Chain A
Amino acid sequence: MRAAGAAPLPFGVFLLAGLGLLLLAVGLNVGVGDLRIPLTTTFYAITNALGWTAEPLNRIHETVIWDYRLSRSLVAACCGAGLALSGAVMQSLLRNPLAEPYVLGISAGASTGAVAVVILGVGFGAGLGAASLSAGAFAGAFAAFAFVALLSDGTRSGADRTILAGVAASQLFNAVTAYIVTTSANAQQARDVMFWLLGSFGGVRWPDFMLVSAAVALGLAGCLLYARILDAFSFGDDAAAALGVNTGRARMVLFAITALMTATIVSMVGSIGFVGLVVPHAVRFAVGPLHGRLLPGCAVAGALFMVLADLASRVLVPQQILPVGVVTALVGVPVFSLILYRVQRAS
């Protein structure tokens, strides 16, 4: 944020290095667990499946890689990319360096929606399980957003008021979630639902990857189409309107995109905080504030951050898996405090 002038890294270098590190991180992440798998095995398992090589491999290794770990790692990458993108877009639209889906209570709203579908059976019933879960999460995300927008009087108020509204939204929706769980859930459901509150990649498989990768790819494409418009918002709504932006429509489309990505992610892996906060600030530092670079940068760096967080959640405590939200919060809260400190000093 402070670094003025030209970005310290050429954008192409940043993107390529990021993608390279991401591949490496996915490879490492696939290898770590109760069953350790060497990086070369992972590599050959993938190239074998693509028909490029025919290396004889341990069948168990191949099964673990394909059926469990690779899908999990790729879902983590997509979730990180989507959350980081959402954070970057919200920070620009609300002109608030602290905005991101978790801080603003959007993730909490999506959790409430998803939990309502699972436990109360709100929605379309068992036949459309995944779809109604996503729809519930989407409705919850939107409700939370509307709540924050109303309470903070849109974007006219300062940074602190939006954040306070987000705190209120988080509290409210988490309370509703807890209410639903304690009054309606049986013990098993209550345990299952816990993960929405802390985030977990346990149990995600290929169909989840298909859904989340489609949502994030669409979101990235949509945001990139709006990259220049987001630049035009740098000096606020009026400045954007004076440059010829249809601000109402841009705002609606962009919030819908971020709500869609956030809701899809939360309905799948729960609410994972602070990714949307940490990553965009770090990326701005490396590639500058213009969105044509910032957004793709956030997608790659967010994916990398989340895969590493997943890796850390599985190796930090031996024989145990931490909820990934715990890991992101351990990194995110200090960063949040730092930004808060800077914002206060600036104003």
Chain B
Amino acid sequence: MSFQADSLTWGIGRRTVLHGLTFSVVPGQMLGLLGPNGSGKTSLLRLLAGLKTPAGGRVLLDGADLRRLPRRDVARRVAFVEQHAGTTANLTVEDVVRLGRFPHRRPLAGWGPADAQAVEAALDRAGMTAKRRDGWHSLSGGEKQRAQIARALAQTPHELILDEPTNHLDIQHQIGLLRLIAGLGITSVLSLHDLNHAAMFCDRLLVLHHGHIVADGPPATVLTEALLRDVFSVQATVEQDPQTGRPHIRYLR
């Protein structure tokens, strides 16, 4: 198993955001996290990345409690791409990607061939090699997102966590990004708003509603008209795409 959440609970003040979630992620799986705004997607992703400590329950990574693992060890295998990465420092794309080697380098160790190789491979995979000398502030939204994904890939992770990676991107870049993630072949957990994109690319979908898991399974069984009505409060018909066999949602006015 990759991640295992074991009756995971988390809250802000008195409000409980996540109510005892239990699920596990199969290695190599692309898991899409769905749910309306405020359903607890971001909180869950941050718990999985170890950026928050659960109020109850635990997250296991390959059977080990995430809280007992040193931060640096976690960062060597779990990479996190947050929703709005921003900086005042005008780093180049290459500088940003090199940050991904931080957990792999001893404090005073130099820049090794393994580091250089990982950065080259990450730039290449994210399609950012040509932009490597560009400054952060000159990048478009899609390029910033790709640079962050390249940084995450430079960590050579087994698990990749992304919080709404397609937000604020135009349609071409949304599809391009999802295709990139689906083609990585590593375990990935990502939150998405576009249900059709989730159906097209994810191996499995997990739907959160008020901090509870209300559906969990392959897109074809999760995305039903009843779920769209009860969880997302929209009227829609769900058809099967004749080419991919995946569900396709048609929203009604």
Instruction: Answer whether A246 and B71 are a contact pair too, CB < 8 Å, given A4-B137, A5-B135.
Output: yes
* B134 at the binding interface (Cβ < 8 Å): yes
Q: What 0/1 readout, one digit per residue, does chain A (125-145) give for beta carbons within 8 Å of chain B? A: 000000000000000000000
Q: What 0/1 readout, one digit per residue, does chain A (223-245) give for beta carbons within 8 Å of chain B? A: 00100100110111011011111
The docked-state distance in angstroms from the alpha carbon of A97 to that of B100 is: 24
Which of B51, B89, B99 has the largest count of A CB atoms less than 10 A from its CB? Answer: B89
Q: Which residues of B contact A95 (CB under 8 A)?
A: 87-88
> Is B102 a contact partner of A232 (Cβ separation < 8 A)?
yes
> Is A243 a contact partner of B99 (Cβ separation < 8 A)?
yes
CB interface residues, B 118-170, toward A, < 8 Å: 133-138, 155
> Is A242 a contact partner of B75 (Cβ separation < 8 A)?
yes
Of A228, A234, A242, A244, the contact of B89 (CB 8 Å cutoff)? A234
Measured CB to CB, the closest approach of chain A to B159, in angstroms, equals: 12
Of A228, A234, A243, A246, the contact of B87 (CB 8 Å cutoff)? A234
Instruction: Answer whether A289 and B91 are a contact pair too, CB < 8 Å, given A4-B134, A228-B102, A228-B105.
Output: yes
CB interface residues, A 59-112, toward B, < 8 Å: 91-92, 95-97
* B80 at the binding interface (Cβ < 8 Å): yes
Of B70, B86, B100, B136, the contact of A243 (CB 8 Å cutoff)? B100
The docked-state distance in angstroms from the alpha carbon of A34 to that of B91 is: 48
* B18 at the binding interface (Cβ < 8 Å): no
* A36 at the binding interface (Cβ < 8 Å): no
Chain B residue nearest to A2 in the complex (CB): B90
* B103 at the binding interface (Cβ < 8 Å): yes
The docked-state distance in angstroms from the alpha carbon of A91 to that of B88 is: 9
> Is B72 a contact partner of A244 (Cβ separation < 8 A)?
yes
Measured CB to CB, the closest approach of chain A to B201, in angstroms, equals: 23
> Is A239 a contact partner of B82 (Cβ separation < 8 A)?
yes
Measured CB to CB, the closest approach of chain B to A231, in angstroms, equals: 6
Q: Which residues of B contact A236 (CB under 8 A)?
A: 85-87
Instruction: Answer whether A242 and B49 are a contact pair too, CB < 8 Å, given A4-B90, A4-B137, A235-B86.
Output: yes
> Is B134 a contact partner of A241 (Cβ separation < 8 A)?
no
* B210 at the binding interface (Cβ < 8 Å): no
Q: Which residues of B contact A238 (CB under 8 A)?
A: 46, 51, 80, 82
* B95 at the binding interface (Cβ < 8 Å): yes
* A6 at the binding interface (Cβ < 8 Å): yes
Q: Which residues of B contact A120 (CB under 8 A)?
A: none
> Is A5 a contact partner of B133 (Cβ separation < 8 A)?
yes
Chain A residue nearest to B79 in the complex (CB): A242
Of B90, B102, B137, the contact of A244 (CB 8 Å cutoff)? B102
* A146 at the binding interface (Cβ < 8 Å): no
Chain B residue nearest to A5 in the complex (CB): B133
The docked-state distance in angstroms from the alpha carbon of A95 to that of B91 is: 14
Measured CB to CB, the closest approach of chain B to A335, in angstroms, equals: 16
Q: Which residues of A contact B105 (CB under 8 A)?
A: 228
> Is B134 a contact partner of A5 (Cβ separation < 8 A)?
yes
The docked-state distance in angstroms from the alpha carbon of A289 to that of B82 is: 22
Chain B residue nearest to A4 in the complex (CB): B135
Measured CB to CB, the closest approach of chain A to B110, in angstroms, equals: 11
* A290 at the binding interface (Cβ < 8 Å): yes
* A1 at the binding interface (Cβ < 8 Å): yes
* B212 at the binding interface (Cβ < 8 Å): no
Q: Which residues of B contact A92 (CB under 8 A)?
A: 89
Chain B residue nearest to A291 in the complex (CB): B89
* B74 at the binding interface (Cβ < 8 Å): yes
> Is B72 a contact partner of A234 (Cβ separation < 8 A)?
no
Q: Which residues of A contact B102 (CB under 8 A)?
A: 228, 231-232, 243-245
* B92 at the binding interface (Cβ < 8 Å): yes
Measured CB to CB, the closest approach of chain A to B3, in angstroms, equals: 15
The docked-state distance in angstroms from the alpha carbon of A92 to that of B91 is: 13
Measured CB to CB, the closest approach of chain B to A339, in angstroms, equals: 10
> Is B91 a contact partner of A228 (Cβ separation < 8 A)?
no
> Is A225 a contact partner of B79 (Cβ separation < 8 A)?
no
Measured CB to CB, the closest approach of chain B to A85, in angstroms, equals: 16
Q: Which residues of B contact A2 (CB under 8 A)?
A: 90, 137
Q: Which residues of B contact A241 (CB under 8 A)?
A: 50-51, 71
* A315 at the binding interface (Cβ < 8 Å): no
The docked-state distance in angstroms from the alpha carbon of A284 to that of B138 is: 17
> Is B85 a contact partner of A239 (Cβ separation < 8 A)?
yes
Of A4, A96, A225, A245, the contact of B71 (CB 8 Å cutoff)? A245
CB interface residues, A 176-216, toward B, < 8 Å: none
CB interface residues, B 18-57, toward A, < 8 Å: 46, 49-51
The docked-state distance in angstroms from the alpha carbon of A244 to that of B103 is: 6
24 contacts between A and B (CB under 8 A): A1-B90, A3-B90, A3-B135, A4-B90, A4-B137, A5-B92, A225-B108, A228-B102, A231-B99, A235-B82, A235-B86, A238-B82, A239-B82, A241-B71, A242-B78, A242-B79, A242-B82, A243-B75, A244-B71, A244-B73, A244-B75, A244-B103, A245-B71, A289-B90
New A-B contacts (6) at CB < 8 Å, excluding given A2-B90, A242-B82 = A6-B92, A97-B88, A231-B99, A235-B86, A235-B99, A245-B71
